[in-house]
Amino acid sequence: MPVQAQPDVRSSGSMDRTRDDNSMEFGHNAAAASAATAKPWGNKESPNNEDDSNGDDDVDTTTPAKVTDPLAPRLGSHEVSAARILISSAETANYQCLSLLYFQRVLVVSVTERHRETWGQKAEFLLAVIGFAVDLGNVWRFPYICYQNGGGAFLVPYCIFLIFGGLPLFYMELALGQFHRCGCISIWKRICPALKGVGYAICLIDIYMGMYYNTIIGWAVYYLFASFTSKLPWTSCDNAWNTQNCMPVTSENFTELATSPAKEFFERRVLESYKSNGLDFMGPVKPTLALCVFGVFVLVYFSLWKGVRSAGKVVWVTALAPYVVLIILLVRGVSLPGADEGIKYYLTPEWHKLKNSKVWIDAASQIFFSLGPGFGTLLALSSYNKFNNNCYRDALITSSINCLTSFLAGFVIFSVLGYMANVQKTSIDKVGLEGPGLVFIVYPEAIATMSGSVFWSIIFFLMLITLGLDSTFGGLEAMITALCDEYPRAIGRRRELFVLLLLAFIFLCALPTMTYGGVVLVNFLNVYGPGLAILFVVFVEAAGVFWFYGVDRFSADVEQMLGAKPGIFWRICWTYISPVFLL
């Protein structure tokens, strides 16, 4: 700021200085004053990061008074000229030095922001997205909802909501993550800072999901180890955990009051739920089950601790193995007696059910939770893509594979349900169960009646484990990427340690689900937990991107990456249809 010269107050000792010392002192003071007024940046860009916001309060905007320094009259003309040259040189040098520091700072920040890992291969990204989207719900939820809501007729609302609702949101998240190259928290600084809380909400939902989803994978791990025997333990009723009501499903005396060996194995051996009283008294943690879930967390840690470098290698196994197993099980299933009746039951359309609004609601919820927008995973995975990657083509490929996988899983499940109905001499609707009961009771029952049951059991539960691991990889990676991007110094530089502490925290939070009454808590969390919360979060996300950030601006971002603007269909869906789809 301008400095007004003040009378020189000195002690008697300092009055004996030479004229050259006085000239130099005057020159340095004037240079400092000139440099202060010549700063090329505002207060916020000060290179020493000091807060200069209150400095303007002391600025004197009046014309400086005449210099009254008693030494001034004693300066000769040659000394005044030297002082002026010195002032000019100091001002120029100071300006250039500070300017250099400023541009160095900008350069460092720019380089830091652009440095980001990328996928080793394009296939790794596609497999990671497919693995996240194709989860346990594709196996145990879609087939049940399909035959419950009209069989083949259900595919009509399912495809409609895929085209106009799910796919545009899926495409949106892939494009957002790839363009802005950051997680679900930091991205809002560039879109709508007021909605930054949406990113933290997504992280909380991901933690919530990890608390019970990994426990379900732990059940599959328990079944896998139990399958390594000469005879599957749920084949007969001769075990210590069986009750008097136990009866093989192949028995002619099997009634509705009887329980199958597979059901008792799940409820009385795996879970031991009879030792609890529901949520009122869940009992202690079951050690063997906790050990299985701990093994799942160990696998998750070593898959995520290095980021895309480690996850990109793991998905080659976890994403491809389920398809190999599904095809093997399909070939085996369609060869069983009664399989044709099950497939017919699965596909036969009941068009009158389309008049029921529940069918359309189920179709919308199924396509939404199957594709998985809103969990932050698509943002995180696509943020590691190269800037010019064709995310439009990726969205079409991965979403189509996801839906076709659900359809394929229906053939696998219903061919076996038809076989079980044939064995039990009953109708298919009395055999099937929704949710975990389908894959942990009904399907193991069918496997136990097949020749080579041990082999079929091992590959089936390996498929469930890989399906679950891919999804939990995606959910946790979304949160890890978001927090590492938001806090690069505190968390990003210590990713391995942060992932370890995060998984340890989630494991401790999940311990209640590993108690004897944990299955009740798992069902409670699954039914009443993430559904409405994630729908609300995605609606706010869509509104922030399409209405506040703007479809035109978003389309321009896509054009920078792909070289062409999205078509009129996508812009209409983003502006009107997709947000309404979430309501």
Residue 244 CA to residue 88 CA, distance in Å, equals: 103
Residue 134 is labelled as binding a ligand:
yes
Residue 7 CB-density burial (10 A; 0-12 exposed, 13-18 middle, 19+ buried): exposed
Instruction: Give, in order, the Cα–Cα distances in Å from 551 to each of 58, 65, 125, 564, 575.
Output: 47, 59, 26, 14, 7
Alpha-carbon distance of 414 to 330, in angstroms, equals 10
CB 218 within 8 A of CB 293: yes
Contacts of 265 (CB under 8 A, 6+ apart): 233, 234, 239, 241, 444
Question: 230 labelled as ligand-binding?
Answer: no
What is residue 246's DSSP assignment? B
CA atoms of 34 and 38, how far apart (whole Å): 6
Nearest-angstrom CA–CA distance, 515 and 284? 5
Q: Report the alpha-carbon angle 477-478-479, nearest 5.
A: 90
Token reading at 40:
């090329």
Sequence-ordered strand ranges (E) for 191-310: none
Backbone angles phi, psi at 259, to 5 degrees: -120, 145
Answer yes or no: is 471 a known binding residue: yes
β-bridge mates for residue 277, sequence order: 279
Among candidate residues 120, 165, 146, the one with its CA nearest the CA of residue 399: 165
The number of angstroms, rounded, from the C-alpha of 555 to the middle of its chain's C-alpha atoms is: 23
Those residues whose C-beta lies under 8 Å from the C-beta of residue 440, and which sit 6 or more positions away, are 219, 223, 266, 270
Asked whether the beta carbons of 409 and 464 are under 8 A apart, the reply is: no
Beta bridge partners of 259: 246
End-to-end CA distance of the chain: 58
Instruction: Confirm whether residue 133 is marked as ligand binding.
Output: yes
Beta-carbon contacts of residue 22 (< 8 Å; ≥ 6 apart): 71, 74, 75
Tell me how far apart the 2 most distant CA atoms of the chain are, in Å.
125
d(CA 324, CA 408): 12
Tell whether 138 is in a known binding site.
yes
What is the Cα–Cα distance from 339 to 334, expressed in whole angstroms? 5
Does the annotation place 48 within a ligand binding site?
Answer: no
Does the annotation flag 427 for ligand binding? no
Is 451 marked as a binding-site residue?
A: no
- The annotated binding site for Na(+) is made up of 131, 133-134, 138, 370, 402, 467, 470-471
- The annotated binding site is made up of 131, 133-134, 138, 370, 402, 467, 470-471
